[in-house]
Amino acid sequence: MREACSLVRDLLPLYIDGLVGEDSSKIIEKHLQTCRDCRRQYEAMGAEVKIETATLPDLKRPFLRIKRFYITRTLLVVFVLAVLAIPVYFGFNALRGQGVTFTSFTASGYVSRAFDALQEGDYSLAATYFADSDDSRAFLQSLEALQEEGVTITTTLAPWRTFSLSGGYTAGQAIARMEHEGESYDVYFLVSYRRGQIIPRNIMLIRRPLPGHRMGILYRRSEWPEWLQELDQVLSPPSIYLLYDTN
């Protein structure tokens, strides 16, 4: 092997990778044109390089596919866990008697529909949502009598929060805007819900709702209009005076 050949062959890997200078490249190219042995060596090395670059994407693609599979699977697992977390959370709330539970949604729907019926003045429909008890009947009759005296429910806000209480009860709340002789009153109704029945519990007159429509600042009962005190009197004395929402 000539001296030039050994030099060129030493430089060939660098030349293939394009790492040699312009002058060196010219010398190598000139040598390759004249020396068959070195050209063969170059072609062999160049072919290897070509094979490597040709197979690279093929090697990458399965990896990408595997990567994509793991990402998809991870997302799926996260999604399933998130979906499963909801009933677990509801069940946990039902056990500790606090927070949103399965019955909360049913109760919300019931309270909302019952108050819609009251707003429409459809007391027989409203009665189907309320418990078949003396308290409920007295409450509905009192409301109906008030309506005849000119007290109207103009709007009802859907219960914005329900909470389960120990003993399988779910408490619900609704605010009804009631009007009497041009005056407007926001009346907070606390009801409980159990097995498809609403039991009226307590009413309060809201002076000013607090931000986020949670419990508002209340009027003293002595400040209430007489008709609202009448409605209050048909309800059993409330067992809960202060309801504190811990959520």
Indicate the residue among 36 and 208 with the shorter CB distance to Zn ion.
36
Secondary structure in 3-state letters for 102-139: HHHHHHHHHHHHHHHHHHHCCHHHHHHHECCCHHHHHH
Report in angstroms how near the CB of residue 13 gets to Zn ion at its nearest. 15
Stretch that binds Zn ion, among 29-37, 57-65, 179-187, 200-208 (CB under 5 A): 29-37
Indicate the residue among 9 and 201 with the shorter CB distance to Zn ion.
9
Report in angstroms how near the CB of residue 35 gets to Zn ion at its nearest. 3
Stretch that binds Zn ion, among 5-13, 78-86, 172-180, 182-190 (CB under 5 A): 5-13
Report in angstroms how near the CB of residue 44 gets to Zn ion at its nearest. 14
Stretch that binds Zn ion, among 28-36, 66-74, 91-99, 201-209 (CB under 5 A): 28-36
Both tokens of 108, joined, read 């919300």
Alpha-carbon span 26 to 65, nearest angstrom: 44
Indicate the residue among 5 and 243 with the shorter CB distance to Zn ion.
5
Report in angstroms how near the CB of residue 48 gets to Zn ion at its nearest. 19
Total residues binding Zn ion (CB under 5 A): 3
Instruction: Give the residue, chosen from 12, 28, 38, 205, that forms a contact with Zn ion under the rule CB under 5 A.
Output: 38
Report in angstroms how near the CB of residue 9 gets to Zn ion at its nearest. 7
Decide: 118 and 182 in contact? Cβ < 8 Å.
no
Contacts (CB under 5 A) with Zn ion, residues 54-83: none
Residue 5 binding Zn ion, by CB under 5 A: yes
DSSP class per residue in the chain: --HHHHHHHHHHHHHHTT-S-HHHHHHHHHHHHH-HHHHHHHHHHHHHHHHHHHHHHHHHHHHHHHHHHHHHHHHHHHHHHHHHHHHHHHHHHHHHT-S--HHHHHHHHHHHHHHHHHHHT-HHHHHHHB-SSHHHHHHHHHHHHHHHTT-EEEEEEPP--EEEETTTEEEEEEEEEEEETTEEEEEEEEEEEETTEEEEEEEEEEEEPPGGG-S-EEPPGGGS-HHHHHHHHTSPPPS-S------
Instruction: Give the residue, chosen from 35, 127, 206, 218, that forms a contact with Zn ion under the rule CB under 5 A.
Output: 35
Indicate the residue among 38 and 204 with the shorter CB distance to Zn ion.
38
Indicate the residue among 20 and 145 with the shorter CB distance to Zn ion.
20
Indicate the residue among 15 and 90 with the shorter CB distance to Zn ion.
15
Indicate the residue among 4 and 157 with the shorter CB distance to Zn ion.
4
Question: Could you list the residues that contact Zn ion (CB under 5 A)?
Answer: 5, 35, 38
